[in-house]
Amino acid sequence: MEEDIRIVEAAESNLDDLCRLCIPPERQADPSFMKGVELKKIWARDIIKQWGSVAKIAYLEGTPAGLIQYIPVLEEMVVYITCIFVPHREHWRRGVGRRLLTSLIEDMRNPKSWFSGESPSALVTRPFPGEKPGQYPARSFFRDMGFKQVGEDPSLLYYPLKHGFVYRPVEQKKPIYIHQEDDRGKVVIMYNPSFCLWSYVFLKRSEQEIREAVQSLHVRWINSWEEPIEAKKRGISEGIIVNGRLISSFMLDDREAFIKEVLAALE
Ligand SMILES: CC(C)(COP(=O)(O)OP(=O)(O)OC[C@H]1O[C@@H](n2cnc3c(N)ncnc32)[C@H](O)[C@@H]1OP(=O)(O)O)[C@@H](O)C(=O)NCCC(=O)NCCS
């Protein structure tokens, strides 16, 4: 029997669904996630005001079951998919992901005001491994759905929306941290509100790890949206700076390497 799946554009009326869907059920009351939801809502309101839309939510038998998030890239005339996710096991493999993506493809065949009334040339994505244990990876899903690899880079995929279009990404300069004397002797955690509330949760966890490893350290949070001048002078909008050095290890990938780098920066 055909599943009852409804795809709805993200809007003020369903912001709660958009911002809470990815929270694991056992973390619904966790303060880090609550704060992440609050920050994501601010981000979503702002971006909806700017672009009219940023995401689609799938309702399976009336329950929020999945989302796809995207953003127009004006200089490339493409739409970048930042995330697709069907978080809960009971919703997997019931056609939710496919419906979300096909809905986006259909929508993006239409003219868009972002592109001065033209339709985008392609959908582009760099899926990150955020799947739950036993879940199907986004990269395999996009390949199944007809996305092609960009050049030699297996992690960058695209789906042409115009006949014969071949995507060639515009070279992006990697942001480099500009040292500030003011960052010495403390931890500066730079946060950039975005489509993913997990990024706030990960930074919060990193802060906890640092506080456990090093007592009585001053920690300053900078929200790059609220303090754009602070972000601009550092050249980066997200990251952890310890005693004036940007930490390159990612706490969740390798906790030991992360703490080692933090301690070395403090020497
Ligand atoms: C990829 C994902 C969106 C698919 O969602 P879904 O609703 O379960 O997928 P669908 O039922 O729509 O399946 C669509 C197609 O994907 C493929 N597919 C999905 N799950 C599969 C599985 N377990 N095994 C093999 N193929 C699979 C199949 O080609 C399927 O088509 P078919 O059913 O006609 O064979 C979902 O598994 C997911 O969220 N994965 C994690 C993605 C992620 O890491 N996001 C970032 C999180 S922060």
Q: What is the pLDDT of residues 127-175, one digit of tens each?
A: 988 899 999 999 999 999 999 999 999 999 999 999 999 999 998 888 9
Cβ atoms of 37 and 31 closer than 8 Å: no
Nearest protein CA to atom 27 of ligand 1, as residue? 136
pLDDT of residue 171: 85
pLDDT in tens, 24-41: 999 999 999 999 999 999
Which residue, judged by its Cα, is nearest atom 41 of ligand 1? 131
Say how far apart CA 34 and CA 32 lie, in whole Å.
5
User: Residues 80-116: pLDDT tens digits?
Assistant: 999 999 999 999 999 999 999 999 999 999 999 999 9
Q: β-pairing, 5-9 with 55-60?
A: antiparallel
Query: Is 85 near ligand 1, meaning CB less than 6 Å away?
Result: yes
* Contact of 236 with 177, CB cutoff 8 Å: yes
Tokens representing 209 are 């790890």
Burial of 26 per CB tally in 10 Å (0-12, 13-18, 19+): exposed
Is pLDDT of 252 > 90? Answer: no
pLDDT score recorded for residue 3: 87
Q: What is the pLDDT of residue 72?
A: 95
- pLDDT score of 46: 92
CB of 202 within 6 A of ligand 1: the answer is no
Atom of ligand 1 nearest to the CA of 196: 48
Q: Which domains does the chain have, with CATH numbers?
A: 5-160 (3.40.630.30), 181-266 (3.40.30.10)
Q: What CA–CA distance (Å, rounded) separates 165 from 12?
A: 35
User: Distance between CA atoms of 111 and 120, rounded to whole angstroms?
Assistant: 8
Residue 120 pLDDT grade (very low, low, confident, very high; cuts 50, 70, 90): very high
Provide the pLDDT for residue 129: 87
Does ligand 1 lie within 6 Å of residue 135's CB atom?
Answer: yes
Q: Is residue 95 lining ligand 1, measured as CB closer than 6 Å?
A: yes
- pLDDT value at position 237? 96
Query: Ligand 1: distance of its center to the CA of 146 in Å?
Result: 13
Q: How confident is the model at residue 75 (pLDDT cuts 50, 70, 90)?
A: very high
* Beta carbon of 199 within 6 Å of any ligand 1 atom: no
Residue whose CA is closest, atom 35 of ligand 1? 93
CA of 94 to the centre of ligand 1 (A): 9
Question: Mean pLDDT in the chain?
Answer: 95
- Secondary structure (3-state) at 112: strand
Both tokens of residue 255?
């906790």
Is residue 158 lining ligand 1, measured as CB closer than 6 Å? no
